[in-house]
Amino acid sequence: MFTPFHIGNVPVGGPAPFFILGPCALESEEFAWDMARSLKEIAGRTGIDFIFKASFDKANRTSVTSFRGPGPAEGCRILGEISKELGVPVTTDIHNEAQAELAAAHIDLLQIPAFLCRQTDLLEAAAKTGRAVNVKKGQFLAPWDTVNIANKMRSFGCESFLLTERGTTFGYNNLVTDMRSLYWMRKEGLPVIFDATHSVQRPGGLGGATGGDGELAPVLARAAVATGVDGVFMEVHSDPANALSDGPNQIPLEFIEDLLVKLIAIHHASH
């Protein structure tokens, strides 16, 4: 079993799962602050530990014309200021070695996108920043393949890392979540996060954009917590229908508090 650690003030491997919550993309500075403040208030009322998430660059959008974000420097500045002002750890995706170094100055948890989970140089760069690292399991990997990722991280001197299940390719434009994956990964002694919202994506399912079945995200989150995970990742948006990225998968802000209460109750009932 892994040794428990902290990401900022958030315990990993504690008695209850923590949550990674926030919008898919940094649509604007004002929007990011509004979402972060709202989620912090909800976290306070529900008693959860949470990390605020938003991406400064959606680098693998389906269409070349899709919104990507403010970029690394501006995005990291915004997230860093949110973290300091609100006292909440923050996370964002990085896509290359240069971004790892830049983000480490502002970001508490560096996230490796699923498509890049086997990129050894990127994993090494993230590991050597000294920050905690969340590696998303590629849609093309079996759960036991994550042991190789873990071995890379440890070989680079990083013990504060997470592995995130976010669904497996299931034919064209579809993903499926195998809840056995969560058990098998944890059995290997790995800290496991379940990404409820990306697991319900339909990649490229709208032709020029990714679709999804957002109504199923809470269903899968409940199943994952009952199965046993160290954390749950859910993208949340105040207006998913008008989100600039991944709208069909994000959970409406107005519903997240009730869902968090249910997830904590499920955890207490099943553990």
Token pair of 86, please? 């609100």
Q: What is the pLDDT of residue 169?
A: 94
Token pair of 25, please? 């993309």
Neighbour-count burial for 165-200, b at 16+ CB within 10 Å, e otherwise: bbbbeeeeeebebeeebbebbbeeebbbbbbbbbbb
The overall average pLDDT reported for the chain is: 95
Q: Return the CATH number of 16-270, one of 2.30.110.10, 3.40.250.10, 3.20.20.70, 3.40.50.11810.
A: 3.20.20.70
Q: Where are the domains of the chain?
A: 16-270
Q: What is the pLDDT of residues 32-82, one digit of tens each?
A: 999 999 999 999 999 999 999 999 988 876 778 778 889 999 999 999 999
Q: What is the pLDDT of residues 170-214, one digit of tens each?
A: 989 899 999 999 999 999 999 999 999 999 988 876 766 777 788
Global pTM reads 0.96
Burial of 136 (0-12, 13-18, 19+ CB in 10 A): buried
Token pair of 256, please? 């997240």
**Please, are residues 48 and 264 in contact by the beta-carbon 8 Å criterion?**
yes
Banded pLDDT at 229 (limits 50, 70, 90): very high
Residue 20 has pLDDT above 80, yes or no: yes
Q: What is the pLDDT of residues 86-134, one digit of tens each?
A: 999 999 999 999 999 999 999 999 999 999 999 999 999 999 999 999 9
Q: What is the pLDDT of residue 50?
A: 98
